[in-house]
């Protein structure tokens, strides 16, 4: 994977008292004192399952995939000229094709991505072990495969018995492709084929895997999985002939029919009206001058606001119409700049005075800097929402590795508000290694702001009315070296103001307006590929409305694409909604399976998310793996789907069973509690609109695992799960489409001290989420909204695997 590499840390044996810290997983694997990244080097040998962590090669072994023994692993050393090594895989070279061992003592061989210092070129390298994975030696002939690419990574190697040689799948990550290679000896590689782009391309492709499974225990199909940015892990079912993977199913999608609201195919806007210059005088016939290739539109014409480039702005409005169908479907692309209620025109500022705009050659008169920033100054930039030509940027001059402070001179707080623009890393003050802007009064931090983990300068508003007349300083603190991303901060204008600065209207999107108010909105995904979206309008049928296609953005990706607006009886599905996902939760990524397990296939994934992986409130470790899962292919509703269940050895952790039956109207406490539980439940909706279970409940805290009968979706809501404020990306609700079977919902739930894993029905739908509740939040409740539901469950407390 493309990550900043961590220093090599040797695994240590389990110290007395370890694995008892707050939030420490008790039956999910985590490293004793280190960052846990992608699960790497998964290989089964002589009754031992081997597991290593990306970037560190710290390792562990298990005989049952439940109880783990940490290994004091040595190596491999980095390749000459390489400043990092990324994810990879391991095999046992039974036939000693590499010559690294003997047939009697075959070597374990790891293939991984090494990253060249300076250029960032990603190439594939080998290391080998002749002592069962305890120590590793770098191959002198590295790299064994080099395309000169910065986006060529994460090799998964396996033995292909029909050809009696090796196969490898690896990603061309920025091209959304998986390449297939063959080799007789793991050293010499021949390119065979490429697969993709296909399915979801909402993020870079990483961590591929390819393996066979029998469908319902019969015919063999192959499963290709690939991680997609921070979106999740998608999979394809198809055939593999040793050279090419071919997915089952159609390659195209036809949205539901409906009543059109435009006729852009005529080459005219018709009775739609425009303002500004962004939309031109008629629909575009595809790609406009100087624009990247546009695709995904229907027919030959579409709305394209790139007329004159990103700097042009304007609106395109439909005539008023009556909403007569429950859904409005359309295709959208372009910039990802959503509608914000109450936003004001770009550049609108409240009354006041500019305290700092960093427009000079220094930070300003009286500003002082320490650490990496001593002697540095403002940085010319063009960030979204930037007002002047320069910003304070702690990436200058030492990159993410740079740390220090930048402090203003003492000033008098003369207005009731301090408004400031902040971008960059989201590492709040009060947490380890902050990237924060602080207001100091009498030497104490009385207000603080951090970035959004994005380059967009965002307004922060401090109410300082209680400190008016006092002496103060603004201090920018960067104590983060970026090992988990965004280890720097950007600060734009700072104002002493009479009121809070409002967000600016920089949207690129489509709005539905009813009675003068925006009631639905959609934006692009920073892509020239249009994708389908759908609005549920059941509550608006009979209302008069009109559509507005809006481009109020003159910066990067400052345009919108739209096409084929139709009122319909059923919703269209986006590419991500049509994709097959291994897990629908927030914390399932970099999935991988063990080599060498014979006919069965066991998988595991990184249980975290790059949006907040470096900010989770855990110490002295960060990150864990999902609980190992048995994978199978099953025919469900006429479709072959990947199904997953916890490996059977979890039953070795069970305590005495608890059996409960309950009928619920509202919220009902159950005679069950705990912070490490396995729950098997059958739920019936009755008359309820939503129903399910709340786990790790206590006071105002709970994690809700529920089913919405209207949307027919299973969901996990962690917005009230405990500590959620460490990142703006954490508090969320994730859902998955799921039909009830015979009117029932069957769930298997694994609850650990900082996670929930939900397996629905036959395991065809799973959701995995981290949670950080108080230790005292141990209750379980059943809930039913707007009606009644019934619950029958059996639960077991689970013992720790570490004590």
* Chain centre to alpha carbon of residue 72: 31
Q: Are 88 and 73 in contact (CB under 8 A)?
A: no
Q: Are 572 and 614 in contact (CB under 8 A)?
A: no
d(CA 460, CA 451): 10
* Chain centre to alpha carbon of residue 102: 43
DSSP 301: -
For 504, how many CA atoms within 13 A lie in the half-sphere containing its CB? Answer: 21
d(CA 779, CA 802): 24
Positions annotated as catalytic residues are: 38
Plot region of 618 (φ>0 → left; ψ -120 to 50 → alpha; else → beta): beta
Closest by CA position to 549, among listed 269, 161, 203: 269
Q: Are 84 and 112 in contact (CB under 8 A)?
A: no
Neighbours of 230 (CB within 10 A): 17
Give the DSSP per-residue string, 149-213.
-SSEEEEEEEEEGGGTEEEEEEEEGGGTEEEEEEESSSSS-EEEEEE-S-S--SS-EEEEEEEEE
DSSP 243: S
Tokens for 531? 């994708």
d(CA 223, CA 211): 5
Closest by CA position to 8, among listed 32, 29, 41, 34: 34
Burial-class residue 479 by CB neighbours within 10 Å (0-12, 13-18, 19+): middle
Neighbours of 214 (CB within 10 A): 12
Closest by CA position to 562, among listed 382, 301, 378, 310: 301
Please state the three-class secondary structure of 92-124 as a single string: ECCCCCCCCCCCCCCCEEEEEEEEECCCCCEEE
Residue 343's SS3 state is coil
What b-and-e string marks burial along 17-47, b requiring 16 or more CB atoms within 10 Å of the CB? ebbeeebbbbbbbbbbebbbbbbbbbbbbee
Closest by CA position to 678, among listed 702, 701, 658: 658
Tokens for 457? 């300068």
Residue 277's SS3 state is coil
Q: Are 777 and 698 in contact (CB under 8 A)?
A: yes
Tell me the backbone φ, ψ of residue 243, rounded to 5 degrees: -120, -45
Helix and strand counts by DSSP (H, E) for the chain: 1, 55
* Token pair 């159609």 in the structure block, residue: 250
Give the DSSP per-residue string, 568-591.
ESS----HHHHS-BS--SSS-EEE
Q: How far is CA 620 from CA 24, 434, 614, in A?
A: 10, 17, 12
d(CA 519, CA 775): 41
């Amino acid at each position: 994977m493309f990550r900043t590499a961590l220093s090599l840390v040797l695994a240590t044996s389990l110290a007395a008292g370890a694995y008892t810290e707050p939030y420490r997983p008790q039956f999910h694997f985590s490293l004793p004192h280190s960052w846990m990244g992608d699960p790497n080097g998964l290989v089964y040998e002589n009754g031992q399952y081997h597991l290593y962590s990306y970037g560190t090669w710290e390792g562990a072994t298990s005989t049952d995939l439940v109880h783990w023994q940490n290994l004091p692993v040595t190596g491999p050393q980095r390749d000459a000229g390489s400043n990092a090594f990324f994810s990879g895989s391991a095999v046992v070279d039974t036939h000693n094709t590499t010559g690294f061992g003997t047939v009697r003592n075959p070597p374990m061989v790891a293939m991984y991505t090494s990253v060249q210092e300076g250029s960032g070129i990603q190439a594939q390298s080998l290391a080998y072990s002749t002592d069962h994975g305890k120590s590793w030696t770098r191959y002198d002939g590295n790299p064994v495969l080099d395309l000169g690419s910065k986006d060529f990574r994460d090799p998964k190697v396996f033995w292909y018995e029909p050809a009696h040689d090796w196969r490898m799948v690896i990603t061309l990550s920025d091209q959304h492709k998986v390449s297939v290679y063959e080799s007789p000896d793991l050293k010499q590689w021949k390119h065979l084929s490429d697969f993709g782009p296909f399915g979801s391309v909402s993020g870079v492709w990483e961590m591929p895997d390819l393996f066979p499974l029998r469908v319902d225990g019969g015919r063999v199909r192959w499963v290709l999985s690939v991680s997609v940015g921070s979106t999740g892990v998608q999979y394809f079912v198809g055939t593999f002939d040793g050279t090419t993977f071919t997915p089952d199913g159609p390659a195209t999608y036809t949205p539901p029919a409906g009543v059109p609201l435009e006729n852009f195919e005529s080459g005219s806007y018709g009775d739609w009206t425009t303002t500004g210059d962004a939309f031109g005088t008629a629909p575009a016939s595809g790609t406009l001058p100087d624009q990247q290739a546009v695709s995904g539109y229907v027919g030959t014409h579409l709305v394209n606001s790139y007329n004159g480039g990103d700097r042009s702005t304007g609106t395109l409005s439909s005539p008023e119409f009556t909403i007569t169908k429950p859904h409005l479907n359309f295709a959208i692309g372009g910039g990802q700049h959503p509608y914000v209620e109450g936003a004001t025109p770009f550049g609108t500022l409240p009354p006041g005075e500019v305290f700092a705009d960093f427009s000079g050659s220094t930070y300003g008169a009286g500003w002082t800097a320490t650490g990496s920033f001593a002697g540095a100054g403002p940085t010319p930039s063009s960030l979204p929402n930037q007002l002047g030509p320069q910003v304070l940027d702690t990436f200058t001059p030492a990159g993410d590795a740079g740390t220090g402070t930048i402090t203003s001179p003492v000033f008098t707080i003369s207005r009731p508000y301090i408004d400031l623009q902040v971008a960059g890393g989201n590492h709040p003050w009060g947490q380890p290694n902050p990237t924060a802007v602080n207001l100091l009064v009498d030497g104490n931090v009385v207000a603080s702001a951090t970035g959004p983990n994005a380059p967009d300068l965002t307004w922060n508003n401090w109410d300082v009315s209680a400190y008016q007349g006092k002496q103060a300083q603004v201090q920018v603190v960067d104590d983060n070296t970026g090992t988990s991303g965004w280890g720097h901060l950007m600060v734009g204008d700072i104002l002493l103001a009479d009121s809070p600065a409002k967000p600016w209207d920089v949207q690129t999107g489509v709005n539905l307006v009813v009675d003068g108010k925006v009631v639905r909105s959609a934006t692009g995904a920073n892509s020239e590929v249009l994708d389908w979206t759908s609005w549920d309008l059941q509550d608006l049928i009979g209302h008069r409305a009109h559509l507005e296609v809006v481009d109020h953005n003159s910066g990067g990706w400052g345009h919108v694409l739209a096409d084929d607006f139709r009122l319909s009886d059923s919703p269209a599905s986006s590419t991500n909604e049509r994709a097959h996902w291994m897990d629908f939760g927030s914390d399932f990524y970099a999935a991988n399976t063990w080599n060498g397990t014979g006919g069965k296939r066991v998988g595991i994934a990184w249980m975290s998310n790059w949006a907040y992986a470096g900010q989770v409130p855990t110490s002295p470790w960060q990150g864990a793996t999902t609980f190992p899962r048995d994978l199978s292919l099953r025919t469900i509703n006429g479709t072959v789907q990947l199904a997953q269940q916890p490996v059977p050895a979890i039953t070795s952790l069970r305590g005495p069973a608890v059996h409960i039956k309950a009928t619920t109207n509202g919220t009902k406490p159950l005679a069950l509690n705990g912070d490490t539980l396995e729950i098997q439940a059958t739920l019936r909706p009755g008359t309820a609109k939503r129903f399910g279970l709340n786990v790790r409940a206590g006071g105002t805290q709970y994690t809700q695992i529920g089913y919405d009968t209207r949307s027919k979706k299973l969901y996990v809501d962690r917005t009230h799960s405990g500590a959620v404020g460490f990142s703006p990306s954490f508090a969320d609700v994730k859902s998955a489409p799921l039909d009830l079977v015979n009117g029932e919902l069957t769930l298997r739930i694994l609850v650990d001290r900082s996670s929930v894993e939900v397996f629905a029905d036959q395991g065809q739908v799973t959701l995995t989420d981290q949670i950080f509740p108080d230790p005292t939040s141990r209750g379980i409740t059943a809930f039913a909204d707007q009606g009644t539901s019934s619950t029958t469950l059996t639960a077991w407390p689970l013992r720790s695997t570490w004590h």
